[in-house]
Structure 1
Amino acid sequence: MQTGIQLYTLRDLNRSVVDQLTMVGETSLDGVEFAGLPSEDGLSTAVSAAGLTVAGAHLQAELIEREPERVADACHALDCATVVVPYLDESRFVDRAAVTETATRLGLLADALDEHGCRLLYHNHDHEFVTPTDTDAQTAFDLLVETADDSVGVELDLGWAKAAGQDPIDLLYRYGDRIPLVHLKDVTADGEPIDLGNGVLDIPSCIEAARDAGVEWILFEHDQPEDPLASLANADAVLQEPHRAR
């Protein structure tokens, strides 16, 4: 299992993406995940020079719908074949019809990308774990995974799942065959993002469950770091053990 960081964590550094790649390359992390289309000049050279691998890219559904070939080409230029839809709003999960429509939409996106050699994942927040109004036992997340085509994978955000009152470890074991990428994000008891190890997420157990489930990448993310570089260094320290054991 490889380790990395979602570059959204470093967005407030006011440094170029190339500089950010250099910073990550100075850690023990294996790679990065882009937030947005990775199309800046020099990225392939910078990724290689930093000794990194690209795990994926977060891209809005509308862009994938409009330009699947452009999206795939940008990813392939970095030896990456994973595209992640980072967010769909709450209205997409309110009832069975909405979830079914969302599953269909993601399936069409997955098919479009598959034609160009890429796979599609969906990244959760907390609002996917509501109970749709016309179902009893399932959360919208459960319904989405069960309804969507197998071509639609999941990037499970452990912190958001925990903030929603879910058991991230249970989700990893239940849906492991659909979860190639994981976001390792710690949260407070109130569901606010915090540096790894300072919140309520059972990080060692989550890492162990991710490995048992066959997860390919475990990616650190912090939505609101006070000091992005300090958060990166802390995450590096937390993830060094699975980095050595992968």
Structure 2
Amino acid sequence: MIKKTLFCGVLMMASMVGYAHTEAQDDIALQMYTLRNVGDVDTQFAMARKAGFSQVELVGDHHLDLPTMQKMLKKYQLNVIASHVQLSDLESDREKIVAFNKGIGNSHLVVPWIEANERPTTKQGWIDYAMRLDRMGETLRNEGMSLSYHNHNFEMKKYDDMTALDLIMKYTHQNNLSLELDVAWAARGGQDPGSIITRYSGRIYAIHAKDNAAIGIRDDEMNFTPAGEGLLEWRSIINAGRRSGVEWYIVEHDAPKDPWAIITTSRHNLKEMLQKQP
């Protein structure tokens, strides 16, 4: 009887481990920026849900007030896992932004971009910018929120022996800032995405999952293509992601001609690749 009970317990634990692994493979979200040119916000959320997404990353508040956004998310049964917000907006209007995001059940904010005229051009400039991120991350953490930084290619520029991204990560505390790594942009900056993930193991909140096409392919879409259909080595990216504790793989495309085809293909490819990797 005791042996039978122990055996059943082992089986139950094994099934729970297997279940957890399956669930982890479904950690795929959609960055709503991809659908910005698809009708109104209602139409965009409807498309996201129809494509099979239940997790989304917002771009600010999408020009909706809190009650309307709450209603919209409930209508399409969408959960917000993060929202893109400019650092300058956080510095000038943090309380309002935090209240809005807490109101929709989101606790994670991401700084997505630095305007060209505000972008640091020196090593010290990047250190100063990192310290701004660190201060904001600490403030948000004390308010029950967390902060990430999303890269493009310009953060891959080296200053002495360190990239701007390395400077950001070095001069911020791991409790105050994590990284939302856009692997396609990182590769365009001449860096290996898998190596970045490994280097900052434990600090990668999410991966923006899109691929780079060769010149001559999708030239009218900034040469971006769904994950798994381009030049990136996804086996190493996913393996590094698993080891590093990446929480989300977020489908995104900067300039999709056919958003429906992009998001459905991307989700399908990602799901298959995540399931294949141990």
Structure 1 residue aligned with 2:163: 139
Structure 1 residue aligned with 2:223: 192
* Contact 2:227–2:270 under 8 Å retained in 1: no
Structure 1 residue aligned with 2:262: 231
Structure 2 residue aligned with 1:50: 76
Cα distance, 1:108 vs structure 2: 1.9
Q: 1:199 to 1:93 in 2, by over 3 A?
A: farther
Q: Deviations 1:119-175 (Å, cap 9, x if unpaired)?
A: 11111000001111xx2x211111221112221111111110011111101111111
* Cα root mean square deviation, aligned: 2.2
* Contact 2:33–2:252 under 8 Å retained in 1: yes
Structure 2: stretches of 5+ with no match in the other structure: 1-23, 216-221
Cα distance, 1:33 vs structure 2: 0.4
Aligned-partner Cα distance in 1 for 2:210–2:76 = 24
* Contact 2:148–2:178 under 8 Å retained in 1: yes
* Contact 1:69–1:116 under 8 Å retained in 2: no
Q: Are 1:99 and 2:123 counterparts?
A: no
Cα distance, 1:239 vs structure 2: 2.4
Q: Are 1:60 and 2:91 counterparts?
A: no
Q: What is the TM-score of this pair, normalised by structure 1?
A: 0.89
Alignment map for 1:75-224 (pairs within 5 Å): 75-89=101-115, 92-132=119-159, 135=160, 137-150=161-174, 151-189=176-214, 192-224=223-255
> Could you say what secondary structure the match of 2:104 adopts?
coil
Greater relative contact order (Cα < 8 A, sep 6+): 1
> Could you say what secondary structure the match of 2:162 adopts?
coil
- Counterpart code for 1:110: G
Aligned-partner Cα distance in 2 for 1:52–1:239 = 19
Cα distance, 1:89 vs structure 2: 4.2
Structure 1: stretches of 5+ with no match in the other structure: none
* Contact 2:57–2:80 under 8 Å retained in 1: yes
Cα distance, 1:24 vs structure 2: 1.5
Q: Deviations 1:51-87 (Å, cap 9, x if unpaired)?
A: 3321111111111001111111111111110111111
* Contact 1:83–1:118 under 8 Å retained in 2: yes
Aligned-partner Cα distance in 2 for 1:98–1:59 = 21
Deviates more, 1:93-102 or 1:186-195: 186-195
Structure 1 residue aligned with 2:53: 29
Q: 1:160 to 1:217 in 2, by over 3 A?
A: same
- Counterpart code for 1:62: S
Aligned-partner Cα distance in 2 for 1:61–1:79 = 21
The sequence identity of aligned pairs, in percent, is 30
- Counterpart code for 1:4: A
> Could you say what secondary structure the match of 2:53 adopts?
coil
Q: What is the TM-score of this pair, normalised by structure 2?
A: 0.80
Q: Deviations 1:5-38 (Å, cap 9, x if unpaired)?
A: 1100001112x22332222222333411011225
* Contact 1:103–1:149 under 8 Å retained in 2: no
Aligned-partner Cα distance in 1 for 2:32–2:52 = 15
* Contact 1:72–1:117 under 8 Å retained in 2: no
> Could you say what secondary structure the match of 1:56 adopts?
strand
Aligned-partner Cα distance in 1 for 2:245–2:265 = 25
Aligned-partner Cα distance in 2 for 1:207–1:43 = 33
> Could you say what secondary structure the match of 1:42 adopts?
helix
